[in-house]
Amino acid sequence: MKLKKGETVNVGEEDNEMPGWFWCTNIKGLGCWVPSIYLERDKKKGKLITDYDSTELQATKGEVMKFIHEATGWIWCRTDDRRRGWLSRNKVESIKTPT
C-alpha cells in the first residue's frame, strides 16, 4: 500500500513484536503497518510526514541488494533488478562491496 505525505490515517494498535510500528487504515479502509517515524500522531489519528510504501521485499538467501534507509528494525532495500521493499533487519547482513 502506498500513502502520500499529508494523507490522514486512523492509527490502531502498535505491533507487540515490533514496537514503533502501528496498524493504520486510510479513508478507504485499507490498512498496513506504518513506522511511527513516518507519522505525526494525535491519539487515534495520524498524518503522514513523508510518502510511504508498505511493500515487503521478496528476496532469496544470498541475494545482494542496496540498503536505502532503516526504520524501526526494517530496512528499505533495492535489488539489482530494481525491485524495492522492506526487509526485517534480523534477516539481512551488511557486506562490504569493492570500491
User: Rounded to the nearest 5°, which phi and psi values hold at 91?
Assistant: -110, 5
User: Could you state, in order of their start, the residue ranges of all structural domains in the chain?
Assistant: 2-53, 56-92
Q: CA angle, corner 77, sides to 75 and 83, nearest 5?
A: 145
Which residues make Cβ contacts (< 8 Å) with residue 9, sequence separation at least 6?
3, 24, 25, 26, 34, 39, 45, 46, 47, 48
Question: CA Rg, the chain, in Å?
Answer: 15
pLDDT digits (tens, 9 = 90+) for 7-28: 999 999 999 988 899 999 999 9
**How many whole angstroms separate alpha carbon 2 and alpha carbon 98?**
34
What is the pLDDT averaged over residues 64-71?
A: 88
- Inform me whether the pLDDT recorded for 99 exceeds 90: no
pLDDT value for 98: 63
pLDDT value for 11: 97
**Cell, residue 63:** 541475494
What is the pLDDT averaged over residues 33-44?
A: 92
pLDDT digits (tens, 9 = 90+) for 72-90: 889 999 988 899 999 988 8
